Amino acid sequence: MNKHSELAVYNFAYLDEQTKRMIRRAILKAIAIPGYQVPFASREMPMPYGWGTGGVQVTASILGPDDTLKVIDQGADDTTNAVSIRAFFQKVAHVAVTTKTAQATIIQTRHRIPEETLQDNQVLVYQVPIPEPLRFLEPRETETRKMHALEEYGLMHVKLYEDIARNGHIATTYAYPVKVEGRYVMDPSPTPKFDNPKMHRSQALQLFGAGREKRIYAIPPYTDVVSLDFEDHPFEVQQFEEPCALCAASGVYLDEVVLDDRGGRMFVCSDTDYCEKRRENGHRGHLNGETAGAAK
Amino acid sequence: MNDHPLLRVNAVTKYYGSRVGCTDVSFNLWPGEVLAIVGESGSGKTTLLNAISTNLMPTSGTVEYRMRDGQFRDLYRMGEAERRFLMRTDWGFVHQNPADGLRMTVSAGANVGERLMAIGNRHYGNIRQEATQWLGRVEIDADRIDDQPRDFSGGMRQRLQIARNLVTGPRLVFMDEPTGGLDVSVQARLLDLVRGLVNDLGLSAIVVTHDLAVARLLSHRMMVMKEGRVIEHGLTDRVLDDPREPYTQLLVSSILQV
Ligand SMILES: [Zn+2]
């Protein structure tokens, strides 16, 4: 079985032109109404839903032959999910791929927003599992649509209230709800709340695709994105106690890496490209050197 | 009581296809007044309640409500956003089954605080303080504030539902069989509590019940319904002590036998 020849019979970027036009119309509508979830006729993709088929369809619809694609899962380019999606687009669109944030024109992500500030020639595509922020308390789709239409967002604060009542602080760390351009409340997918401030007035266009749920939404460049909170419990991002063990970066999102079975561990940048670039530029963390290889 | 009614119900009729739900019902509800709508099941009392409270569009007739600015508004000509806002600020709706009116999987405090958050309160400490105070008013211990209503008894759930509705200081509360499904001793306590709150807050209320004892204890005025029509309407004590319609006499005598 030759996977390459099987896919070769498909159109550029796998989807047929009619489907791409349909998805582009949904994207344009999403850009016109920031934060609003636009329904679209999600297609079957040659990968399971959990693999980000919504993001893949969005990427396939905006991708041109001259684009350079980067795909990350968590912050890394080399995880199975990211490698598969990157390989898929290399096969079906023959586009250039990169792991370097600055060189990419389209970045598809599952969790993280790159640490390096995105520019106005870049598009960030998110793979979204559950697009509806109100769903956890209101399972009825007709009712959640009405709540969005009438701007009835009290329930979002009920969720945050419960968080504080139970934990003493807002313990939500992922998929932390935001209000877009003062109007629609949006779930920023499983992104850590650490990255929420990066969405605010970003120069890059941000597109969100949920395949199973058949929704596309968007944050156009330079759009206000405000994390919900209480006056006496203001929004805060996670703080890390120590800098990256490899590149000494601080103020970035760190992952814990287990070094051995004796409890040894270190904290390193989740954005692997960012970390590598810093090391190339001569930044050294306290564990860089002999243990750096073990971490990779 | 004020010079103007709070609610004007005019010739409200609801058909389900060719079947009558309720027909040609008119009345005024005055500020601070409690009106009981009584009747057996199938009499049209629940249809009427739903038609007045905008849960069910009537086939014909009008329902007008006097807004806080003193102007009467036809509820079925209001925009949906405004109507829903009215329902969660100036109105309350107490369901027979508390699960229909509560969020069973969020804490008691959040259940009470939800309306405050819905109208823009963004101070956790204030919301919690207000919720604590309301739990006290409905006789729920403050240390239950973080418990979910699914861990509460039926009577507690009903009291929590009442607190959740009253936190925004509504002027009109609808109650659909508020004591239905509760033990007799629990019913009596709940009725005392509701009567106290209605008096203290000067609420207007429309209470639908099949139980004449509930009507006797809570209402100033009552309407008796049969086959979709109001067949008798008057001060509660008068209707219960001196019923004029044979059907009302039958209802009253059957309750007295119990
Ligand atoms: Zn690093």
Per run of 10 residues, the mean pLDDT along chain B (length 258 residues) is 86 96 97 96 95 95 96 94 94 96 96 96 98 97 97 96 97 95 90 95 96 95 97 97 95 70
Instruction: Say which residue the tokens 């029509």 belong to.
Output: B229
pLDDT at A287: 85
Residue B257 · residue B250 · CB < 8 Å: no
Query: Is A244 one of the annotated active-site residues of the chain?
Result: yes
Position B86 scores a pLDDT of 95
What string of DSSP letters covers B31-76?
Answer: TT-EEEEE--TTSSHHHHHHHHTTSS--SEEEEEEE-TTS-EEEGG
Cβ distance A158 to B103 less than 8 Å, yes or no, reads yes
Q: How far is CA B124 from CA A157, B121, B129, B138, in A?
A: 9, 8, 9, 21
What's the whole-number mean pLDDT along residues A228-248? 95
pLDDT at B149: 97
Task: With a cut of 90, say whether residue A185 has pLDDT above it.
Answer: yes
pLDDT at A232 over 60: yes
pLDDT tier at A6 (50, 70, 90 boundaries)? low
Q: Which of B103, B122, B124 sits opposite A137 (nearest CB)?
A: B103
pLDDT at A1: 44
Inter-chain residue contact B114 with A155, CB threshold 8 Å: yes
- pLDDT bin (cut points 50, 70, 90) of residue A190 is confident
Flag whether residue A164 sits within 8 Å of chain B, measured between CB atoms. Answer: yes
- The secondary structure of residue A50, as a DSSP letter, is G
The pLDDT-based confidence of A259 (bands split at 50, 70, 90) is: confident
> How many cross-chain Cβ pairs, A to B, lie less than 8 Å apart?
54
Question: How far, in Å, are A16, A44, A225 from residue A19 at the CA level?
Answer: 5, 11, 30
Bigger pLDDT: B183 or A58? A58
Output the DSSP codes for B132-178. Answer: HHHHHHTT--GGGTTS-GGGS-HHHHHHHHHHHHHTT--SEEEEEST
Is A269 part of the annotated catalytic residue set? yes
What does the pLDDT average to over A102-109?
Answer: 97
Confidence bin at A291 (pLDDT 50/70/90): very low
Q: What is the pTM of this model?
A: 0.90
What pLDDT score was predicted for residue A264? 87
* C-alpha span between B9 and B209 (Å, rounded): 19
**Chain B contact for A171, CB < 8 A?**
no
Hey, are the CB atoms on B127 and A152 less than 8 Å from each other?
no
CA B237, CA B217: separation in Å to the nearest integer? 10
pLDDT of residue A4: 53
ipTM, interface predicted TM-score of the complex: 0.92
CB A273 within 8 A of CB A99: yes
